Structure 1
């Protein structure tokens, strides 16, 4: 099988820049919706049952720390393995390696629980990682929260190294 570079996938899958870093495209979404009254999560208005995107991150890119009100499932597709960095609701840091080298601790799927602060980085240099991300209840940008280094350091100073790597100094406008 021919090995492709990041630009091949960005072009062929028609990916756009994502505000957290990398590239994405929404590819599937539920036709069905649910309301905040039917869920244990507090949303404004209706939400699709699920949404799904392609997400591509280059090794020089960072998926900056952010938070969603929904669970997000990550699926490995191509390229280098990806590390998902997570600070859960209890303030515990966890790291998941998304890939197919099971003998090396990688897994092909990862769940990021709702309300976790998380970001990701490509494990190898000079490459990329292509994954799929499914959010349920469905993703809406109004539920998307980015963080600055100062915001996270005030709450989690023990994770300074990863915060300095994955959080924006200033959130871009």
Structure 2
């Protein structure tokens, strides 16, 4: 029997994430690295991340690769907007026979967001960023910003980009 999204939110003590969904940071490694811009960062960071129909991951961009690992719930779609203008979808889930993947690496510099399949309720994943995540490397987008660059992706942009950025 599949657990409910509230079960995971309560058991893992997940909190609302600024881009959507719920998250909890897991312990970071003690090892630090120096980035190209001379900042000290953890070697990597990782979070539990729960997304639902009403709380998807809105379009954002990172300066590092991010690896997504599927754990539980329903499949989700990672929507990718590449700098060269093309759009791609990747299905993250456990039904390999349905061309879902258990993990996927989102390349640095690609704008992306994630949504639960229409008949689904939630997905529980982990996300790992190396070097470690820093909000200075995180950029959210409005619908207007993305429609200017990706006008042919209107439907997914309206679904996964904020009309105005949250405070």
TM over 0.5: yes
Count of matched residue positions in the alignment of Structure 1 and Structure 2: 167
SS in 1 for 2:27: strand
Give, in whole Å, the separation in 2 of the partners of 1:92 and 1:33: 35
Whether contact under 8 Å (2:74, 2:120) holds in the other structure is no
**RMSD of aligned Cα (Å):** 1.2
1:7 matched to 2:6? The reply is yes
Give, in whole Å, the separation in 2 of the partners of 1:44 and 1:10: 36
Structure 1: state its 5+ residue gaps.
Answer: 38-42
Give, in whole Å, the separation in 1 of the partners of 2:31 and 2:117: 37
Q: 1:91 aligns with which of 78, 81, 85?
A: 85
Query: Residue 31 of structure 2 aligns with which residue?
Result: 32
Query: Residue 146 of structure 2 aligns with which residue?
Result: 152
Segments ≥4 residues shifted beyond 6 Å: none
Give, in whole Å, the separation in 2 of the partners of 1:112 and 1:88: 11
Structure 2: state its 5+ residue gaps.
Answer: none
After superposition, what is the alpha-carbon deviation per residue over 1:106-127, rounded to whole angstroms, capped at 9, x for unaligned? 0000110001100000114351
Give, in whole Å, the separation in 2 of the partners of 1:127 and 1:95: 19
After superposition, what is the alpha-carbon deviation per residue over 1:43-94, rounded to whole angstroms, capped at 9, x for unaligned? 4511211000000011222210000111000000000001000112322211
Whether contact under 8 Å (1:79, 1:130) holds in the other structure is yes
Query: Residue 112 of structure 2 aligns with which residue?
Result: 118
* TM-score, normalised relative to structure 2: 0.95
SS in 2 for 1:61: coil
Query: Residue 15 of structure 2 aligns with which residue?
Result: 16
Give, in whole Å, the separation in 2 of the partners of 1:85 and 1:32: 32
Q: Deviation of residue 34 (structure 1)?
A: 1.2
Whether contact under 8 Å (1:81, 1:124) holds in the other structure is no
Whether contact under 8 Å (2:70, 2:92) holds in the other structure is yes
1:71 matched to 2:65? The reply is yes
